[in-house]
Amino acid sequence: MIFFVSVAISYAWVYGVYFFLGPWINAFSIPVFLLWIIGVFFQLLFIDKFIRTEGKEAIFIGVLKLILGFPIVLVLSVVSIFALSLFNSYLSRLEPKTFLMDEIFAGRVRVIYGEECGINPPIENGRRIFQIPENGILIIQPEFEDGIIDHEYYFVDNDGEKTNIAEYENYSDGTKTIPGVVWEV
């Protein structure tokens, strides 16, 4: 019975959050409905276990355990959700990539993924190396993958010396760009 009540409460909570957030509820990177069911289930199980007592002293002790126990269950629920989010981020991380461009390059960079006629970029020191040609169009065989990215960008001079290109974060629209280079996928 506790399970069905927790599903009903969680469904009502998700619907209420959706009512306020609308499609923004999809911004959660974790399955919130499932986690809310689990959290509410354990909270109701906890309440059921400690409220079933007899006698005035037992009721006082049960209420005291409930008052002191609720923050513990709440903290454990938040820590569990955070741990699951970190685990999900760990599983969805992408292969690290390094993009190399000629030092005088300025313009658009276009990377076309998943083409049989494309090259298979080499891997050096655990990073896939993308050498951007002069025309800015790189065609590669690997398919495009989304997830947490680990990219490094370098300008390379005629002697092969790399100069790290710092990304510029645009806080108004939440994007990161490289000065003088426009990226397209």
Tokens of 142: 């690997």
Tell me how far apart the alpha carbons of residues 6 and 17 are, in angstroms, rounded to a whole number: 16
Burial class (CB in 10 A: 0-12, 13-18, 19+), 105: middle
Q: 102 and 85, same structural domain?
A: no
Q: Domain end: 47, 62, 91, which one? A: 91
Range of 85's domain?
2-91
pLDDT of residue 179: 53
Q: 104 and 180, same structural domain?
A: yes
Q: Confirm if 110 and 184 have CB atoms less than 8 A apart.
A: yes
pLDDT of residue 120: 92
pLDDT above 70 (res 176): no
pLDDT above 90 (res 129): yes
Tokens of 88: 């999900």
Q: Domain end: 91, 126, 155, which one? A: 91
Q: Confirm if 51 and 62 have CB atoms less than 8 A apart.
A: yes
Q: Domain end: 91, 107, 133, which one? A: 91
Q: 87 and 117, same structural domain?
A: no
The secondary element (H helix, E strand) that includes residue 50 is helix 32-51
DSSP type of residue 125: T
Alpha helices in 52-175, H assignment, sequence order: 56-91
pLDDT above 90 (res 148): no
pLDDT band at 185 (very low <50, low <70, confident <90, very high): very low
Q: In this predicted model, what pLDDT tens digit does every residue of 24-72 receive, in sequence order?
A: 666 666 677 777 777 777 777 777 776 665 566 666 676 677 677 777 7
Average pLDDT over every residue of 69-93: 78
Count of domains forming the chain: 2
Q: 179 and 101, same structural domain?
A: yes
